[in-house]
Every structure is written in structure tokens, then in C-alpha cells.
Chain A
Amino acid sequence: DAGVIQSPRHEVTEMGQEVTLRCKPISGHDYLFWYRQTMMRGLELLIYFNNNVPIDDSGMPEDRFSAKMPNASFSTLKIQPSEPRDSAVYFCASRSSYNSPLHFGNGTRLTVT
């Protein structure tokens, strides 16, 4: 298995632009998570899905952030409009059940100027 696949690896954009991050979880994994990592806040959970259904989005910073999972093999995290404080590494991760290991993608490093 190729693991969790994220794209792009790096994204540089200007403030106000829309940013879309993509994720393909490991096949057969029912849970998908979006985390944001910064030096100040560490690894923060933004949202997670179970069987394509959003379960908890309380970590989404504000309405500028949205996430979708249209099918079991694809999810997107969208920021519109982007702001410099959104600069961070965004990780997608998946797992097969609630107490099984979580597998991370390689992350997307987002820089908003």
C-alpha cells in the first residue's frame, strides 16, 4: 500500500486566495483526520470523518475552513480566503478503527504571504 497520499507537498499563495489540500487515505481505512501542525500549537485536530461522514469539526478554526469527503478514497480541506496565520503544515491521517494505529501522510506545507 502506498500509504496516505497528500497533495500538494508545498503550497505558497497570497493572502485572500483559495487553497485546496487533497488527501487519499489508505484503502479500507474508515477514519480520516485532518491535523494542522505549528510550533506554537503543536498537532491540532481540525476535523475527522468516519465512513465519509464528518463526525467532529469543532477544531476547524473558523468558517474560512471547510472539509469534504465525497467518497472513501478522497478528501479535501479548503481555506477561503487564506490568511498569513494559516501558514502551517497540514497532515491528513487515516486509521481502520477507533483504537488502531493512525497513519499520517507526508503533509502539505502551506505558506500564505
Chain B
Amino acid sequence: GENVEQHPSTLSVQEGDSAVIKCTYSDSASNYFPWYKQELGKRPQLIIDIRSNVGEKKDQRIAVTLNKTAKHFSLHITETQPEDSAVYFCAASSRNTPLVFGKGTRLSVIA
């Protein structure tokens, strides 16, 4: 089955700097890669997703890149703000497999 590895597990950045979180997956059939943000005590919420026919997608300060050959994808947050502090999860799925999540990255943005 699918296995998703996520790094780093914790990340601290200064406000205004960029943050990058990386994930690898094992199943070459995976074709849907979402990213979720979870604030303390709340549910995970989708922030951006990418499908395998696209290499990069941007939404304001957030971007995701996908390298299908290497089976890895990354989340980039630019101009970080204190409200970006949360746990971020990557995930992967295909037609025959449900979403499998990485272990999460705890991002702290220091003002």
C-alpha cells in the first residue's frame, strides 16, 4: 500500500521568511496530493491540492510542487506570518487507495 514520508517533523522560521515542507510517496499510481493545515484543537483543513497532470500550483503565498518521477512533492509558504503556525499534513491517494497522510510538520512562525 501507499506510504507517505514527511520532513521535517518540526520547523521554526522567522516571520517573513519562507517555509518548505517535503513529502515522498511510494505508490506510483498515486495521482492526488493535498495539503492540510491543522490548528490546535481543530480539524484538518485543506489548503491546497495538486493532481498528477500538473507540476506546480500556487495560491497567494502558498505553492505546491510535484515531481512524479522522483515521487516527491513539496509545500512552500512565502512571507510567513504568525497565523501560519500550525501542523501541516501532506497526503497521497489514487483511484484504488484512500488518502494516506504523512506524520505532520509542526510549523512555528516566530514574530
Residues of chain A within 8 A of B45, CB atoms compared: 104
Q: Name the prevailing secondary structure of the A interface residues.
A: strand
B89 nearest in chain A by CB position:
A43
Contact with B along A29-67 (1 / 0, CB 8 A): 001010000000011010010000001100000000000
A98 to B93, CA, bound (A): 8
Q: How far is the CB of A16 from chain B (nearest CB, A)?
A: 28
A105 to B46, CA, bound (A): 12
Residues of chain B within 8 A of A105, CB atoms compared: 43
Residues of chain A within 8 A of B104, CB atoms compared: 42-43
Query: B7 an interface residue at 8 Å Cβ cutoff?
Result: no
Q: How far is the CB of B87 from chain A (nearest CB, A)?
A: 9
Interface residues of B, CB < 8 Å — how many? 22
Q: Name the prevailing secondary structure of the B interface residues.
A: strand
Interface residues of A, CB < 8 Å — how many? 18
| Contact status B98-A56, CB under 8 Å | yes
Query: B95 an interface residue at 8 Å Cβ cutoff?
Result: yes
- A98's partner among B44, B95, B100 (CB-CB below 8 A) is B95
B104 nearest in chain A by CB position:
A42
A104 to B99, CA, bound (A): 12
| Contact status A99-B43, CB under 8 Å | no
B34 nearest in chain A by CB position:
A101
- B103's partner among A42, A45, A48, A91 (CB-CB below 8 A) is A42
Residues of chain B within 8 A of A42, CB atoms compared: 89, 101-104
| Contact status B43-A33, CB under 8 Å | no
Q: How far is the CB of A88 from chain B (nearest CB, A)?
A: 14
Known: A45-B99, A102-B46, A102-B99. 13 other contacts (CB 8 A): A31-B98, A33-B98, A42-B103, A43-B89, A45-B98, A45-B100, A56-B98, A91-B43, A91-B44, A99-B32, A99-B94, A104-B44, A106-B43
